[in-house]
Amino acid sequence: MCGILGNIHKSSSSWSPLAESDLSKLSHRGPDGSGVFTNEHIQFGHVRLAIIDLTDAGKQPMSSPDGRFVVTFNGEIYNHLELRVELEFQGERFSTQSDTEVLLAAYKVWGRDCVRHFRGMFAFALWDSVEKTVFLARDRCGEKPLFYHFDGECFSFASELKALIPLLKSPPPLDPSVVDMYLHYQYVPEPFTLLSGVHKLPAGHTLFLSLSDWNARLERYWDVENTHYEGSLPKDNPEILSCIRDGLEDAVKMTLRADVPVAVALSGGVDSGAIAALAQKNYKEPMHAFCVGYPGRPPYDERHQARALAESLGMIVHEVELPVESFIDFFPQLVRIMDEPIADPAAFGHYSVPEAAAREGIKVLLTGIGGDELFWGYGWVNQSVLANEFLGQRPWLSALANPGMEKILNRAAKSSRLPKTVRSWADRMGGLADTHTPPDQLRFYMGAPDFGEAFDLKETVSGPALRDLDSRNPFLPTENPKPTIEKIPQAIIKMLFDTWLVSNAVTLGDRVSMGVGVEARLPFLDFKLIELVMALRTQNPDHRLGQKAWLRAALKGTLPEEVLVRPKAGFQPPVHDWLSGVVNTYGDVLLEGVLVQQRILDKDKVPRAVSELRQRGWPGLFFAYKLVLLEMWYRKVVAS
């Protein structure tokens, strides 16, 4: 695990090596060493967090034995041992134990198809000095980040924005259309970034750049909606559950491969509990487990459940307690660590776990990220599938989509005077009456908390740059052709993976862990496991079986029954106190900030906007928090 950055120059010339100050922007991602490679066309930089082959033989940038290929690589190829054997059979020879050397040999043998052989998480740039080309790639689920900027003379890339911006001639202006997306999603959906001209290489994509024509070619090599599982599939339920359990255990075993200690981030839930149980089973000594709690141990504090499970597994337990004032004081530093504005209220808790692990000398931390997305862990996502299936079977119901009907149904869904069954019906039908989602898209994010409220809330502060945007703008990240009814579940999973999973959950996990030099590994996002589950549900749809039905059933005998039947709690920090404290303490940054200067916010509305927003309950407070976070992000990441 590391950090990478570099420049590719169109014209042949003499370029200075990347400076130490350039590499220092990523030093948190690689505290164990750094290196640069410079020739007439490229400048590659690398900072190293040594996980596999701890010797200097694993240093980067790394060149192939003949000097033709040079790579700077961030990530882990978990199946490097198997690939090494396969490549040796084809005549390749190795002088190190590093997965980086395997990557170079794989590109030599398989070319751009090498990524299809890799099982792991990765982002890399590889130079071919003979063909004068650069090949960049990112893993299937976007576990490792890669930003880039491309103009007529230079292609620049980096693992984080804070390292990319100094490579550019000047900080690019904000893109109002992406600010608008952020205000709805609470994160920046890829491939967009908040800075004009800066992009994220999307998950599951490669980019090929040839100096001969200076044309950057993007190609998608993997798609969760259209996976191709190799192997026979079981048809009866016991065999399906056994297959899922074995697939998850195999993924865990792969992510345990390291030359340094491995630990687990543990809550009281099924996902992290499954990882902990299967990891400890396949680890030679007691593992360390880290869990989070809050002063006074409120009902949402899961330390007791986490400790009970960890101790039953023979693990060593560490607890982290998070006072409200700690979050408020640490907020500016947390914003810089996140690198992008991610308004997930759980961010501080997610940071505190790897930070505690780092204090114990841990470099690798397994987490349960991805379990909810793969196994129907969110109620509103299941509801979206059912609503779209219902509407697809009854197209005449599209007549419900009008403002009056939407208002009536939403009011009924929230009325305490109506029976629960009527409220539930009104809630489902209210989704069908949605007037914001474009008619050519599946109904999805309007059912998510906070997304819909932003349409009204942003009117309280919008400046000309926001007001001029098309009403369809927030839905650009979910533009996909409507599928046939039987393929709606797969299409919904794809929308969730391509937006929330990669740009919120995975991005946040990477930044807060690497911010303290800890590598987060995500067994649920092993592509072999994903392809197995997606193939199984094409023959045996599971979205009507209940929350995580397959996963819970597959783990019987692996986890205690009380863990399997425990309702999903999610990560529940004292968000109201945290967000109120941030808005009260830092709200003044909005008054003369960049959002006002670039006419995204209305200068005359801002002074009273924060207090007015807070009077509108949780949606208003959360929206005000997103604005403060965005302004603070510009100051700490872009302008610093």
Which carries the bigger pLDDT value, residue 398 or residue 57? 57
The 10 Å CB-count burial string (b at 16+, else e) for 377-402 is bbeebbebbebbbbbbeeeeeeebbe
Cβ atoms of 167 and 5 closer than 8 Å: yes
* HEC profile of 226-249: HCCCCCCCCCCHHHHHHHHHHHHH
Per-residue pLDDT at 13: 77
296: left (phi over 0), alpha (psi -120 to 50) or beta: left
Measured CA to CA, the distance from residue 109 to residue 92 in angstroms comes to 9
Assigned token pair, 348: 């501080």
Q: Looking at the predicted structure, is the pLDDT value of residue 318 above 60?
A: yes
Q: What is the DSSP letter of 171?
A: P
Per-residue pLDDT at 174: 98
Q: Looking at the predicted structure, is the pLDDT value of residue 570 above 70?
A: no
pLDDT tens for 548-561 read: 999 999 999 999 99
Measured CA to CA, the distance from residue 45 to residue 572 in angstroms comes to 39
The letter for the amino acid at 350 is H
Residue count (the chain):
640
Q: Which of 492, 538, 246 is nearest to 376 (CA)?
A: 492
Q: Which of 590, 513, 197, 131 is nearest to 355 (CA)?
A: 513
Mean pLDDT to the nearest integer, 411-429: 73
Q: What is the model's pTM?
A: 0.94
76: β partners = 121
Rounded to whole angstroms, what are the CA distances from 363 to 264, 319, 357?
11, 18, 8
**CA max distance for the chain:** 77
Cβ atoms of 421 and 407 closer than 8 Å: no
Q: Looking at the predicted structure, is the pLDDT value of residue 423 above 80?
A: no
195: left (phi over 0), alpha (psi -120 to 50) or beta: beta
Domains belonging to the chain, first-starting first, are 2-173+198-222 (3.60.20.10), 226-375+491-564 (3.40.50.620)
In the three-class reduction of DSSP (H, G, I as helix; E, B as strand; rest coil), residue 183 is classed as helix
Contacts made by residues 19-24, CB under 8 angstroms, sequence distance 24+: 21/166, 22/163, 22/166, 22/167, 23/47
Q: Looking at the predicted structure, is the pLDDT value of residue 633 above 60?
A: yes
Measured CA to CA, the distance from residue 543 to residue 375 in angstroms comes to 8
Q: How far is CA 481 from the centre of its chain?
A: 24
How many Cβ atoms sit within 10 Å of the Cβ of residue 439?
8
Per-residue pLDDT at 237: 92
Measured CA to CA, the distance from residue 289 to residue 309 in angstroms comes to 10
Cβ atoms of 391 and 437 closer than 8 Å: no
pLDDT tens for 466-522 read: 999 999 999 999 998 899 999 999 999 999 999 999 999 999 999 999 999 999 999
Q: Looking at the predicted structure, is the pLDDT value of residue 242 above 90?
A: yes
Mean pLDDT to the nearest integer, 137-147: 98
Mean pLDDT to the nearest integer, 618-628: 95
Cβ atoms of 314 and 289 closer than 8 Å: no
How many Cβ atoms sit within 10 Å of the Cβ of residue 422?
13
Least confident of 11-20, 266-275, 496-505: 11-20
Assigned token pair, 343: 């308004």
Measured CA to CA, the distance from residue 562 to residue 380 in angstroms comes to 25
Close Cβ partners of 379 (under 8 Å, ≥ 6 residues apart): 547
Measured CA to CA, the distance from residue 611 to residue 301 in angstroms comes to 30
Q: End-to-end CA distance of the chain, in Å?
A: 26
Close Cβ partners of 338 (under 8 Å, ≥ 6 residues apart): 347, 508, 511, 512, 633
In the three-class reduction of DSSP (H, G, I as helix; E, B as strand; rest coil), residue 453 is classed as helix
Compute and round to an integer the Cα radius of gyration of the chain: 24
Exposure of 205 in the CB half-sphere (CA atoms within 13 A): 18
In the three-class reduction of DSSP (H, G, I as helix; E, B as strand; rest coil), residue 319 is classed as strand
Residue with tokens 């908390």: 449
pLDDT tens for 70-127 read: 999 999 999 999 999 999 999 999 999 999 999 999 999 999 999 999 999 999 999 9
Q: Is the peptide bond before 61 cis (omega within 30 degrees of 0)?
A: yes
Measured CA to CA, the distance from residue 74 to residue 103 in angstroms comes to 11
Q: Which of 419, 414, 448 is nearest to 434 (CA)?
A: 448
Cβ atoms of 324 and 330 closer than 8 Å: no
pLDDT tens for 377-414 read: 999 999 899 989 988 888 776 666 666 666 777 677 77
Measured CA to CA, the distance from residue 612 to residue 225 in angstroms comes to 42
User: Where do the DSSP E strands lie in 168-326?
Assistant: 198-200, 205-210, 215-220, 262-265, 288-293, 316-321
Q: How far is CA 106 from the centre of its chain?
A: 27
Assigned token pair, 554: 């597959």
pLDDT tens for 598-615 read: 999 999 999 888 888 888
Per-residue pLDDT at 433: 67
Measured CA to CA, the distance from residue 348 to residue 353 in angstroms comes to 9
